Structures are given as structure tokens and as C-alpha cells.
Structure 1
């Protein structure tokens, strides 16, 4: 299963989510709950502790790897994101074994495909480059360290802000699964799916780097 590790960029550091992050997660999630209409976000310290506990359980089960999003300059927690839905096509976590390939060590297995999701940011961190660099760090690790074949994104079709952010990365639309699941508001939701393939990564990386370099570094969350 993927090993927890920190990923650091110019503006943001992604740290594997841990109990000591709960207070900062709670602070980042404070405010207008309408800002978090489409993504599960904890409300208060108790929910933040449960949020972290569930994330740790997901990693122990080999199904996800969650991070706290932290501003490098200020040390403030600004939100969370994660790898999830790991897909293994060969190796020790696949049965039957692929002919001609050694079984390997299950504890060291890395996925052939994965999803990036459950991303949320405090409202004041939006539009600052924090989300863009967070995605860059995750994608770079997935494609250049794990050597995945595909990264998937998904969003409630009504979540136009999230869909636009995914599309700006250069991800390709894989269509909409209608009446896919129940949304946080209790309504049946349709889900838009996107993906980036390994041979598309160099182009996507150049796109993200261009967008990032064009952003003004103006937010005190970054400068502080």
C-alpha cells in the first residue's frame, strides 16, 4: 500500500493527516457551511477528530491516503485532500497473479491507477494557488514516483467550481454517470468523471506550471 509521506512545494506542504491536525482542520472548516455543499467537511473539533480517525482507518485498509494542506509560510492548515480508490492491475494485491511477474511485497505495492478527491479549502485560500500547487504535488508524485497509468477526478455535476478547477488542469472528461449516488443534501446526484493518463502528464504538467507562474502571490495566508 502507498506509504505516507509529506510533499512540499513553494506555497504548500501536504502532510499525512494525523490527530494533531484536528484543531487546525476544525479552524479551516469554520465559517459558512454553504461553502462546503458538495464535499464532506467536519464541523467543530469533535467532528475533525472523527474525520482524521476515518482517514487513518482508510489508510490502514489500503483504500486512501489523506493529507492536511498547510501553508508553508504561515504553518496554517488550509484544508485537506487525498488519494483514494487505489487500483492495482498486477503484483501482490492482485489475484490471480499476472503471468511472468513476481508477486512482490504487498506492503510496498504502489497503485497502477488512483483518484484524487475529497479536496476542500478554507474560503480565504481559494484563488491563491494553494489548490493548484496541491494538485501539482499529488499528480507529480502519482505519475513520477508511483508511475500510475491514470489519475481520476470526480465531482457532483452541480459543483461547477470544482468541475471548472479540474478542467483547468487539463483533465479529460470521461462523461457523466447519471443518478450515480446520493449527495450531501440528500438529493440523488449525477457525477462527472475526468481523468489524466500517463502520456498526457507532461502536457498537463506544463499547463499547471504556466498557470501557477501567472498567479500573483498576494494572499497573506501565503506571505505571512
Structure 2
């Protein structure tokens, strides 16, 4: 059967999302070191030592049809500034999650994230014909929770004691979603924000 997801380049005014490749390792490690992002205990950003494994896992899931990972390129500098992916893909029910998203500190709150999410949502709803797109984050990651709400997603609930993290902490996961019949309004809002030069 034909796979639902295919590697694709998504491009806007500020950002280009290109299929993740092993050759992006050095650039991704450099991007993550801008702000030592892996030190935030409630996120899952790779360290320079774990970038290989991070990429290999993403590419393995790509091969299994479980995810579609992207490297994020800042078009103003042509530099790699982070990564994101479609994940937890449920092709039969046309659902997926947008996650594993992180950005170098220097491009956070620059409007780049808004455009990145806009491109991913537009492709999900208008090309892949998704019926729902999810976002999940750690209960303690308040910046991420607020950013997801600003996109126009609604909170579905909290999965308590959902996971055990690398340090043995129990993680409560907050689940958000945007439904296909909400996309038109969300799209209008995001396009307005991008036109106004929104800050995230």
C-alpha cells in the first residue's frame, strides 16, 4: 500500500523545512548548543553526544511510517536552527502529532515558530487531509503550553504519570489538538499574526 507520508520541503518567508538527513548532525548539534537547550529538564533536546542517536531514531521511525522528521533552516541566514517532525502517525485515521520541535535560542520568539507551525498545519490539513493534529508537552513546560494555545489549539486533557523521563521523573503530558473543521479559523488567525510580525 502506498505510504501516507512522503518526504517534502515546506517553505515560507522566514523558514524552510527540509527532510532530516544524517548530514545535518553537526549543524543540529551546533544549533542545540545555542542556549544549551538540553539543560531544560522538561524537554528532549539532544546533546552533542546524543545527536547521532536522535537522528537515527527519527530516520528509523520515518522508514516505519511512524514519523516524518524535518530540519529547520532560517532563510535569512541559511543556517540550521532546529528540528521538528510529524510523529505518532495514525494513517488509517488520518491523525498525527507535531512534536520534537526545538529551536536555537537566537531564533526563539522571532516569528519563526509561528511560520513553521503554519506550514506544518497547512500541509497536514490541506494536503494530507488530516482530521486532527495533536500537540503534546510536559506539564511543567509552560512556555510550550502557552505557545501551543497561541497557535489556536485547544487542550484535550492531561495524561497523568504518562511517562518516566531519563532522570526517573514521572511526566504528566498535556494534550492539545486542532480539528479539521477548526483549521480555517486557525489559519486565518495565524496568517494575521504572521502579517503583523507576531513574536512566536
TM-score computed with the length of structure 2 as normaliser: 0.92
Query: Which is further off, 31-40 or 142-151?
Result: 31-40
Matches within 5 A, 1:137-216: 137-215=119-197
Match of 2:51 in 1: 48
Q: 1:173 to 1:216 in 2, by over 3 A?
A: closer
Match of 2:36 in 1: 32
Q: Report the Cα offset of residue 50 of structure 1.
A: 2.3
Matches within 5 A, 1:11-90: 11-30=14-33, 31-33=35-37, 36-44=40-48, 46-89=49-92
Q: Report the Cα offset of residue 203 of structure 1.
A: 0.5
Q: Report the Cα offset of residue 216 of structure 1.
A: 6.7
Asked whether the equivalents of residues 38 and 47 of structure 2 are also in contact (C-alpha less than 8 Å), the reply is no
Q: Report the Cα offset of residue 12 of structure 1.
A: 0.2
Matches within 5 A, 1:87-126: 87-89=90-92, 112-126=94-108
Q: Report the Cα offset of residue 74 of structure 1.
A: 1.1
Q: May I ask how many residue pairs the two structures share in their alignment?
A: 195
Asked whether the equivalents of residues 115 and 151 of structure 1 are also in contact (C-alpha less than 8 Å), the reply is yes
Structure 1 distance, partners of 2:198, 2:188, is: 18
- Of structures 1 and 2, the larger Rg is shown by 1
Structure 2 distance, partners of 1:118, 1:216, is: 22
Q: Report the Cα offset of residue 43 of structure 1.
A: 1.5
- Corresponding position: 1:134 with 2:116: yes
Q: Report the Cα offset of residue 66 of structure 1.
A: 0.6
Structure 1 distance, partners of 2:164, 2:6, is: 31
Asked whether the equivalents of residues 39 and 184 of structure 1 are also in contact (C-alpha less than 8 Å), the reply is no
Asked whether the equivalents of residues 38 and 184 of structure 1 are also in contact (C-alpha less than 8 Å), the reply is no
Q: Report the Cα offset of residue 41 of structure 1.
A: 1.7
Q: Report the Cα offset of residue 20 of structure 1.
A: 1.3
Asked whether the equivalents of residues 43 and 138 of structure 2 are also in contact (C-alpha less than 8 Å), the reply is no
Flag structure 1 segments of 5+ consecutive residues without an equivalent: 90-110, 218-224
Residue 205 of structure 1 aligns to a residue in which SS? Answer: helix
Residue 43 of structure 2 aligns to a residue in which SS? Answer: coil
Q: Describe the superposition over 1:129-154 as per-residue Cα deviations: whole angstroms up to 9, x where unpaired.
A: 11111100100000000101000111
Structure 1 distance, partners of 2:126, 2:40, is: 31
